[in-house]
């Protein structure tokens, strides 16, 4: 992390927690962070619940004036129309959703999302004033065959190509082999790929945009290993899956500054 880019701690709940369970978790999380005097201006904390929880979590955040920010896990590349089951970015924006995860490896894998579709979803996010959290990462096979930066760089270049309008975005480097496996990348690996991604952003867009874009690491992040990643000036936060469902663990991750002598 650097002082210019505010670290971003994101909890991707995936397909877990219904809207009632969401209330319990968000309340407990906000209270735990409040008790610990969490400074949200120094470390942003966002939750990414399933679609069916969004209205409930938005209402709760609003009523209690919690400083947590809200994200969604996906969006349609279309704005409206005959697309059964899809969710428009316009609807998300109406719910005060700020962030949207795009191109998570589980969507690439189970819903055959390719670079072209992901690029179109990123365009939809920009159109609706949402901040896309663009996920990139290589499988174990790709790591062995092409090295660790090749696929993430290719994926981010494709996601950012040919936009008529570019807003703020975040990139999450999530090696597929590290997601939900307990097998973590080393902080050095994460930093090396983050540098390659930042260079790719500078080439595809501009060096100024690259400099201000937050690049996260994701894959088996826990309170015990988060500080290692964020020690590097290249890594600006983490995207957390499993550990974001446990309040103690996730608030421990959000409070990573405690473990860094800054
Ligand atoms: P994990 O998931 O923390 O459970 O490995 C990360 C993610 O998929 O975003």
Residue 2 has pLDDT above 90, yes or no: no
Q: Is 242 in the pocket of ligand 1 (CB under 6 A)?
A: yes
Q: Is 236 in the pocket of ligand 1 (CB under 6 A)?
A: no
Prediction pTM value = 0.97
- What phi and psi values does residue 215 have, to the nearest 5 degrees? -115, 125
Task: Report the distance separating Cα 12 and Cα 212, nearest Å.
Answer: 23
Mean pLDDT, all residues of the chain: 96
- Is 174 an active-site residue? yes
- Is 208 an active-site residue? no
Could you say which of 174, 192, 234, 249 is catalytic? 174
pLDDT of residue 261: 58
Q: Which domains does the chain have, with CATH numbers?
A: 8-257 (3.20.20.70)
Question: Which amino acid residue places its CA nearest to atom 3 of ligand 1?
Answer: 241
Q: Which of 172, 199, 187, 188 is nearest to 227 (CA)?
A: 187
Q: Is 240 in the pocket of ligand 1 (CB under 6 A)?
A: yes
How far away, in angstroms, is 239 Cα from ligand 1 center? 7
Residue 186 has pLDDT above 70, yes or no: yes
Q: Is 241 in the pocket of ligand 1 (CB under 6 A)?
A: yes
Task: Report the distance separating Cα 47 and Cα 45, nearest Å.
Answer: 7
């Amino acid at each position: 992390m650097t002082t210019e880019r505010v670290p971003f701690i994101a909890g991707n709940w995936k397909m877990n927690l219904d809207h009632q369970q969401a209330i319990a978790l968000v309340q407990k999380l906000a209270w735990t962070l409040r008790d610990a005097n969490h400074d949200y201006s120094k470390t942003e904390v966002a939750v990414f619940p399933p679609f069916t929880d969004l209205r409930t979590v938005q209402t709760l955040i609003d009523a209690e004036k919690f400083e947590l920010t809200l994200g969604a896990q996906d969006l349609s590349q279309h704005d409206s129309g005959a697309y059964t089951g899809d969710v428009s970015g316009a609807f998300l924006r109406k719910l005060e959703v700020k962030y949207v995860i795009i191109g998570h490896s589980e969507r690439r894998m189970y819903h055959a999302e390719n670079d072209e579709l992901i690029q179109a979803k990123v365009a939809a996010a920009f159109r609706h004033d949402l901040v896309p959290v663009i996920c990139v990462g290589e499988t174990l096979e790709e790591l062995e065959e092409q090295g660790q930066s090749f696929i993430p760089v290719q994926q981010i270049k494709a996601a950012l190509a040919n936009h008529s309008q570019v807003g703020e975005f975040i990139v999450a480097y999530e090696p597929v082999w590290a997601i939900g496996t307990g097998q973590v990348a080393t902080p050095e690996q994460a930093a090396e790929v983050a540098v390659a991604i930042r260079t790719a952003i500078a080439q595809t867009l501009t060096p100024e945009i690259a400099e201000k874009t937050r690049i996260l690491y994701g894959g088996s992040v826990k309170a015990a290993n988060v500080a290692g990643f964020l020690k590097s000036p290249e890594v600006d936060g983490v995207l957390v899956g499993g550990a974001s469902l446990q309040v103690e663990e996730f608030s421990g991750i959000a409070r990573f500054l405690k473990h860094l002598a800054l």
